[in-house]
Chain A
């Protein structure tokens, strides 16, 4: 019963996820692309919850949908003036090649996964993926990468200011 429900919920999130992420590529307008991507991130967060990755699901919404994509939207609004039809200049050859290449990658991955046979999920403790458990892991085993990430973010802040500002 629970397993069956999980399958249903998976499809409820997976199908819109694929559609929304396809929308990112199909949409001609960058704002529409951005909004599709926001929707995709939202459904992806649903999939994360299904994988009992609760902390990551909330971080997904918080960081991706709430911060990064707002930044994208802001830059799009700032820079996209008038009608700039980018897609007129694109090369048909590249389009076809890209589609084929991507299809090839997907096919290889799906085949490889199927070749492995079914990979059943293992039973997990009740605190799996909660803030406390993941936080403890981050502050013990992954302390060095964690601190390195904070340094990276600092560098990124300074770098963004230096690059984007004309006069400092």
Chain B
């Protein structure tokens, strides 16, 4: 089986995540869609690692997972802090830096 299918699958996942980030207004769901995009990137790493036959891609994917864990911890803390000061999770209403 070729690596093409895996790459195409990763592209689909990335696309779905991108749609979610642009379309969804709930901060938490936007965040989840970012995780989905990270996973799509991971899938390409692993697919190419399998194709090339060396495990460097595995190491990179490992780091992506670790960074995603750190990102989730800090990100959720920020979401909680924002909710506490603004009382909302809607990304459109949290735009005071813009004006």
Report if A34-B23 is in contact (Cβ < 8 Å); known contacts: A59-B65, A118-B2: no
Which residues of chain A in 110-153 are interfacial with respect to chain B, using CB atoms and an 8 Å cutoff?
A: 110, 113-114, 116, 118-124, 128-129, 133-134, 137-138, 141-142, 145-146, 149, 152-153
Q: Number of contact residues on B: which range applies?
A: 35 or more
Interface, chain B (partner A; CB < 8 A): 1-26, 28-29, 31-33, 35-36, 39, 42-43, 46-47, 49-53, 55-56, 58-59, 61-63, 65-74, 76-81, 83-84, 88-90, 92
Interface, chain A (partner B; CB < 8 A): 3, 6-7, 10, 14, 17-18, 21-22, 24-25, 30, 33-34, 37, 40-41, 44, 47-48, 51-53, 55-56, 59-60, 63-64, 67-68, 71-72, 75-76, 78-80, 84, 86-87, 89-90, 94-95, 97-99, 101-103, 105-106, 109-110, 113-114, 116, 118-124, 128-129, 133-134, 137-138, 141-142, 145-146, 149, 152-153, 155-157, 159-161, 163-164, 166
Supplied contacts A53-B50, A121-B1, 17 more A-B pairs, CB within 8 Å: A21-B16, A25-B19, A37-B35, A48-B43, A71-B72, A75-B76, A86-B25, A87-B24, A89-B92, A90-B92, A101-B18, A119-B2, A119-B51, A120-B51, A128-B50, A149-B66, A153-B66
